[in-house]
């Protein structure tokens, strides 16, 4: 996510009582997690296992829980609770809406768009032309929709990411600083849930069609003309290639990438990256032709018993 007003590493160190190592003049223009970090971003790390990857990332400023050699051209902010500091910055950028207060950042709705009774449009929402927003649908703060998008009844676009920090005191919610963008001609069936990005934008590509009760996790990038049947679940930070098909109740684990024109057959479980242009079946998933051959062989073994 981009900060509304850029700041510096030195200013953040003073604000949060952190020890500054490295270049305090480093400008902070955004916040990001390690999967999406860019130059100018601040990210955090609080476990030695991830120190090397985080310090070698594109992040300009890094919140860290203990002193560590600072890479050249970066700044480290040493604080015993880097997650709390990071989360506090996100809350400052995206405070909870007070529904009793005067509304600001009114939604922008394009020509010919219909918003049904009971639908809710959050702050800063932008909707294109000739869209249809069904009854009791929710478009969360800052989400954007292209033209001719259909959001069916009861669907939630831009809900908080299912993302928690495990601590000794329990699971602490990570405030989502990202958004959702639905490109032109997207169709979302009834009761879908599209989580906003933790730090980037969850994207549903142009022409993609999602059936009822489909769940898309935070920071996912769904390609163009993708079809997903009912009750498909896609965990956070996945990439789904163009023209792919996910059949009913298929499940995709987090951080998985599917190539273009991938077919995931019904009730399959995907836990790894898959080559495009093929059909896959089973849990754990394997190429469909092999999976079906294996099923036949197993049945024949039973016949011989």
- Other beta carbons within 10 angstroms of residue 73's beta carbon come to 10
Question: In whole angstroms, what is the distance from residue 187 CA to residue 246 CA?
Answer: 15
For the stretch 275-297, pLDDT in tens is: 999 999 999 999 888 878 887 88
Cα 292 from Cα 164, distance rounded (Å): 38
CATH number given to 2-93:
3.40.1390.10
pLDDT at residue 103 in the model: 54
Query: Looking at residue 299, what is its pLDDT?
Result: 79
Q: What is the mean pLDDT of the chain?
A: 93
Task: Tell me what pLDDT residue 302 has.
Answer: 66
Residue ranges of domains in the chain: 2-93, 108-291
| Residue for token pair 């032709």 | 289
Average pLDDT over residues 30-34: 89
Backbone phi and psi for residue 33, each to the nearest 5 degrees, phi listed first: -85, 170
> What DSSP line would sit under 36-55, residue for residue?
T--TTEEEEE-SGGGHHHHH
Polymer length in residues for the chain: 305
Give pLDDT tens digits for 154-207. Answer: 999 999 999 898 888 899 998 999 999 999 999 999 999 999 999 899 999 999
Residue 33: which pLDDT band, with cuts at 50, 70 and 90? confident
**What are 77-98's pLDDT values in tens digits?**
999 999 999 999 999 988 887 6
The helix-helix angle for 82-93 and 9-16 (nearest 10°) equals 110
pLDDT at 60: 95
Ramachandran category for residue 122: left, alpha or beta (phi over 0 → left; psi -120 to 50 → alpha)? beta
Average pLDDT (118-144) is 97
Instruction: Supply the residues annotated as catalytic.
Output: 218
Q: What is the CATH number of domain 108-291?
A: 2.160.10.10
**Rg over CA atoms, the chain:** 22
The pLDDT of residue 98: 63
> Which pLDDT value is given to residue 100?
46
At which residue do the structure tokens 């079906």 appear?
A: 292
> What is the b/e burial string over 90-124, where b = at least 16 CB atoms within 10 angstroms of the residue's CB?
beebbeeeeeeeeeeeebebbeebebeeebebbeb
% of residues, the chain, pLDDT over 70: 96
pLDDT score for 305: 56
pLDDT of 230 reads: 97
Greatest Cα pair distance, the chain, in angstroms, is: 75
Is the confidence at residue 32, as pLDDT, over 80?
yes
């Amino acid at each position: 996510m981009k900060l509304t007003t850029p700041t510096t590493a030195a200013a953040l160190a003073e604000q949060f009582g952190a020890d500054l190592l490295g270049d305090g003049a480093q400008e902070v223009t955004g916040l990001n997690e390690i999967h999406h970090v860019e130059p100018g971003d601040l990210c955090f790390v609080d476990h030695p296992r991830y120190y090397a990857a985080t310090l070698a990332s594109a992040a300009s400023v890094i919140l860290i829980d203990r002193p560590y050699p600072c890479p050249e051209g970066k700044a480290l902010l040493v604080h015993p609770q880097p997650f709390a500091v990071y989360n506090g910055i996100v809350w400052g950028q995206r405070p909870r809406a007070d529904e009793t207060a005067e509304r600001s950042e009114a939604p922008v709705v394009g020509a010919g768009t219909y918003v049904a009774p009971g639908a809710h449009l959050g702050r800063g929402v932008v909707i294109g032309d000739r869209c249809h927003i069904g009854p009791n649908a929710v478009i969360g703060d800052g989400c954007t929709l292209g033209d001719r998008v259909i959001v069916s009844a009861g669907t939630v676009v831009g809900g908080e990411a299912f993302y928690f920090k495990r601590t000794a005191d329990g699971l602490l919610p990570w405030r989502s600083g990202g958004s959702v963008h639905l490109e032109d001609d997207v169709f979302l069936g009834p009761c879908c849930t599209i989580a906003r990005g933790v730090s980037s934008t969850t994207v549903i590509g142009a022409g993609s069609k999602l059936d009822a009760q489909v769940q898309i996790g935070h920071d996912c990038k769904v390609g163009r003309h993708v079809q997903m049947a009912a009750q498909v679940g896609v965990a956070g930070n996945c990439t789904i290639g163009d023209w792919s098909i996910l059949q009913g109740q298929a499940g995709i684990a987090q951080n998985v990438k599917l190539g273009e024109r991938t077919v995931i057959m019904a009730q399959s479980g995907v836990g790894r990256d898959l080559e495009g242009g093929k059909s896959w079946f089973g849990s754990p998933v394997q190429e469909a032709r092999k999976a079906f051959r294996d099923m036949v062989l197993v049945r024949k073994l039973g016949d011989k018993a």
